[in-house]
Amino acid sequence: MKTTACSRRGVVSVRASKGKEQGSAHRNLVASKGKKSSSSSSSSSSTSSVKKVEGGRRGEKGLIAVVGDAAVVPPARSGVAGQILGVAVVAAAAGAAVGTFVQKKLAGKGKEEEEPLGVPLALPSASLLPKDSAALAENIGYHSKYTAGGLPLRFTLPQAYQATAQSVGERLLERWDTTFNNFETENPKMAYYLSMEYLHGRTLSNAVNNIGLHGEYKDALLKFGHKLEEVESEEKDAGLGNGGLGRLASCFMDSCASLDLPVWGYGLRYKYGLFKQKIEDGLQAEVAEDWLDMSNPWEIKRDLVTYQVKFSGAVKNGEWVAGDEIQATAYDLPIPGYDTTNTISLRLWNVEAESGRFDLKSFNDGDHLSAHKSQIKAEDLCSVLYPGDDSAEGKELRLRQQYFLCSASMQDIVATFKRRQTAQVGKINWQSFPEKVSVQMNDTHPALSAPELMRILIDVEGLDWKTAWNIVKKTCNYTNHTILPEALEAWNMEMMESLLPRHMEIITRMDKEFRSSLRRSSGESIEDFQARLENMAILKNVDPVTLRKPERKASIKVGSKLSAAAVVAKEEQDEAEEPLPDPVVRMANMSVISAAHVNGVAAIHTEIVKAETFNDFYNLWPEKFQNKTNGVTPRRWLAWCNPALSKVITKWLGTEEWISDLTLLKGLEKHAEDPALKAEWVEAKTAMKVRLAEYVKENTGYDIPLTSMFDTQIKRIHEYKRQLLNIMAVAYRYKKIKAMSAAERKDVVPKVVMIGGKAFATYVQAKRIVQLIVAVAKTVNNDSEIGDLLKVVFIPNYNVSVAEVLIPGTDICQQISTAGMEASGTSNMKFMMNGSLTIGTLDGANVEIREEAGPEHFFLFGATEPEIPGIREDRAAGKFVPPPTFAETMDYIKSGVFGGETFEELLGSLEGNEGFGRGDYFCVGHDFPSYVEQLEAVDEHWKDQDKWVTSSIINTANSGKFSSDRTIDQYAREIWGVKPHAVPEL
């Protein structure tokens, strides 16, 4: 018979011999209505024959692949008799294919028959891939020879990584294809998560743990003389994200899979990532990420899953005639759930160098660069995450990236809906779209999803405006991640019209209808109503009637009796006036208007969103707004990254169930004073500090003493996150120690301060902060007079893998942002889970962390969010008096003690009363004294190690709330309306 399947490169038909074993070769991957599939057994699908296959032996021919009408014999080394190396499940009809099919040889004899099956939802299979260490070792050996690209007679670590990744990938494919097949057949409501970034770190370590084969792969690799941990370290972090936004998105994907939720993620495949950070001559330098230089064994390119994305051009007779079209090609990454078959997809869009964009004539004429110009412009879309936007070209590229993500994703989502509707009910009912689809916009980057869905429904599918708008309003949801004005994106309207003319028509109508729907409140004056309307509108700086850029009204009336000199003077005055501001499209406002639900990401953040950022919208639609406090996956961020502490936790709880139900950690609290637990806790923490110290030595050259307090702040570098406050306190501490006598120094708590994070390439002030940290570290660490009493380390190129080493080895973490400016933070949650104490402000999730741990286990300092506006007003009025300790530290740094630099430009931001880059907007000076005071309280707490260890245990025991499993469960129930859809076990 013949079935259709999808290989890594597209759709093929598989024609297999019909014989006595055909019945055992064909089974449905997933039994309907939740019943487990049963694997047929035969001599040809026994474990022993599987081992032969995975060792790379070949049997007689018996299967051909058919592409169109052409029969293709499998490559000599592509398959082995009687086995599956992967299973395909695909629905290619609408271009939303998923699955990888590696051919199966059927040993039976007989006349071949071909039966067209159409879209394959139940493909031939055989026994499951073996999972014992001996079989895995044989499989790794096979891939080392045939797929890892290594040298003969050698098995180096890079080769071992590639071979192991291929082996693990096969086992993920079993789960992945089974999951998609189940979703395709049973058609549950799906949630689709759109994010410009994902920061999921290394895949190998997470995958082998989530699918429960860590021990087996560890033993298998030992047969080759390699440790699994060393092989895992060969993998480079995926360059798909930058900070908390991307890390959160990846945590959410892990939780969705682990909770059996039918969810897909969408993003872009950045070739060079954000950047790789280096420190050269004391300054940050940026070079391109190289994560794809050696290929990515986890991704599957879907050659037949492509969509055309239009740009520029004009709308003629209601039709968008594009000036340029770029093809989006899908690359899929599997996201395996923990202790479940469910494995979901993260689909990344990429731009390929299409041959049609190559100008052969120019090339042959000798103009080689021009020949590639069109290809280069297209490929720029997926070159770099967050390209510099100081130039008009940079701004346009960012907008193009955002639309590219939204357009390809929405086209794919609509195609999936249509395919499943057709298969299930035989026709497409657009009214059921919101019943089958929920779209989550992760911040404003994917805000164009709403107008793009409108375009597809109206221009492509033929729906009327009212019907389409009702669908969009029930489908889209928006998560706000920041209240920083610069992060609430507003795109230049002229640029938007040039790049997306059809969308500007749609957005303008959205804005017009919203304005028309707004009504004056009881007792509201006309002026207040107009102000409220302008604050809520999508288009800003436009004429309220035409919704276009307003024309400056003539200041000289026709017929007025002015002398020629007076007219000239008036014209000159008009010319000297400030130009009218450019009209902009406010993406946050558009997101709120088009969303069914809007959520903040921490309790205090959501209250600020409702009371300030979107107060007018909240008053209009209070039912739209929710809080969804962020969380992190306890698998990667505790169970897998901290094996020493995890072992202790499991022993004292008597179960591993905490890995999927983090609230069980509460059971540790009753043992918090038990000397036996404390001893094991300290031993586990010390083991992680040893690992961290080795990492620091290897990557910075600095030796750090294990008996010191390890104090860590790891975040992207930003003024509101206040790494400047941290390093200024370090300088103050250094100055104090230098002034002490030998006897006084005996009472000093030894401390290692570690700071890591990337400063955005064009963020000059952030890069100056990095410069100061590096300079302080160099001076302090080379001062033999103070020895090990103080060490300072800047951790270069901070990423997920680095965090997995830093967080378990940390004693206290710094969460010191200006109150009211951090939406949530997630590193604070990771540190808490791993037994770190926190010094911080009442900002973001710190508020809830302090509530859970208890005030006595949290070191609080600084102004609160309601106090911040008054502090800034007093500063602007000249009422601020610098605290003595702050002034002393400023003068000390300016003296040139740290490498001869005075850092005047950096410290100038903390001086003056107001103005751009002046006036200490982030309140470093105000909070400095209370910060130093709490650092001293931390020292006193550390001196009582018994008390400190109790606090550490209490923090871990009360971190259960901050699991992303809890967060995602709330999204699923309260926003998406998506239910768990468990795939039967393999």
Question: What does the pLDDT look like over 852-868, one tens digit per residue?
Answer: 999 999 999 999 999 99
Q: Tokens 């502490």 appear where? A: 645
Nearest 5°: phi and psi at 6? -115, 125
CA 412 vs. chain centroid, Å, equals 20
pLDDT at 62: 31
pLDDT at 641: 97
Show which residues are catalytic. Answer: 481, 715-716, 721, 826, 830
Is 41 or 849 the better-scoring residue by pLDDT? Answer: 849
Among left, alpha and beta (phi > 0; psi -120 to 50; other), residue 492 is: beta
Q: Is the pLDDT of residue 378 over 80?
A: yes
Q: Is 884 exposed, middle or buried (0-12, 13-18, 19+ CB in 10 A)?
A: exposed
Is 16 or 371 the better-scoring residue by pLDDT? Answer: 371
pLDDT in tens, 880-926: 999 999 999 999 999 999 999 999 999 999 999 887 778 999 999 99
Is 217 or 79 the better-scoring residue by pLDDT? Answer: 217
pLDDT at 561: 62
Angle at 775 between CA 770 and CA 776, to 5 degrees: 100
Least confident of 12-26, 302-316, 667-681: 12-26
pLDDT in tens, 825-862: 999 999 999 999 999 999 999 999 999 999 999 999 99
pLDDT at 575: 62
Q: What is the mean pLDDT of residues 655-668?
A: 98
DSSP string, 797-830: S--HHHHHHHTTT-SEEEE-PPTT--S--SHHHH
Pick the CATH number of 641-962 from 2.60.120.380, 3.40.50.2300, 3.40.50.720, 3.40.50.2000: 3.40.50.2000
Tell me the C-alpha distance between 539 and 69, whole Å.
54
pLDDT in tens, 536-578: 999 999 999 999 999 876 555 555 566 666 666 666 666 667 7
Pick the CATH number of 133-302+331-347 from 3.20.20.70, 3.30.450.40, 3.40.50.300, 3.40.50.2000: 3.40.50.2000
Q: What is the mean pLDDT of residues 618-632?
A: 98
Structural tokens at position 292: 């794809």
What are 86's strand-pairing partners? 102
Band (pLDDT 50/70/90 cuts) for residue 753 is very high
- Measured in residues, the chain has a length of 986
Q: Is the pLDDT of residue 979 over 80?
A: yes
Q: What is the mean pLDDT of residues 614-641?
A: 98
Least confident of 66-70, 240-244, 264-268: 66-70
Q: Is the pLDDT of residue 41 over 70?
A: no
Question: Packing angle between helix 675-700 and helix 643-653, nearest 10 degrees?
Answer: 170
Q: Is the pLDDT of residue 118 over 80?
A: no
Tell me the C-alpha distance between 221 and 226, whole Å.
5
pLDDT in tens, 470-493: 999 999 999 999 988 777 899 999
Superfamily per CATH, domain 399-547+582-633: Glycogen Phosphorylase B; (3.40.50.2000)
Q: What is the mean pLDDT of residues 318-335?
A: 96
Are 133-302+331-347 and 399-547+582-633 the same fold in CATH? yes
pLDDT in tens, 383-392: 999 999 889 9
pLDDT in tens, 764-786: 999 999 999 999 999 999 999 99
pLDDT in tens, 175-186: 999 999 999 999
pLDDT at 566: 67
Question: Would you give the end-to-end CA distance of the chain in angstroms?
Answer: 25
Q: Is the pLDDT of residue 113 over 90?
A: no
Q: What is the dihedral of CA 684, 685, 687, 692, to 10 degrees?
A: 150
Task: Give the CA diameter of the chain.
Answer: 107
pLDDT at 576: 64
Q: Is the pLDDT of residue 82 over 90?
A: no
Q: What is the dihedral of CA 85, 86, 87, 88, to 10 degrees?
A: -120
Q: Is 10 helix (H, G, I), strand (E, B) or coil?
A: strand
Tell me the C-alpha distance between 656 and 661, whole Å.
9
Q: With the C-alpha atoms ordered 183, 184, 188, 194, is the resulting torsion angle positive or negative?
A: positive
pLDDT at 15: 30
Percent of the chain with pLDDT over 90: 77
pLDDT in tens, 586-600: 999 999 999 999 999
Please state, as a whole number, how many other Cβ atoms lie within 10 Å of the Cβ of residue 117.
14
pLDDT at 568: 65
Q: Is the pLDDT of residue 797 over 80?
A: yes
Angle at 677 between CA 674 and CA 678, to 5 degrees: 85
pLDDT at 16: 32
What's the mean pLDDT when you consider all of the chain? 87
Domain boundaries in the chain? 133-302+331-347, 399-547+582-633, 641-962
Tell me the C-alpha distance between 34 and 246, whole Å.
33
Give the predicted TM-score (pTM) of the model. Answer: 0.86
Helices (H), 259-358: none
Q: Is the pLDDT of residue 513 over 90?
A: yes
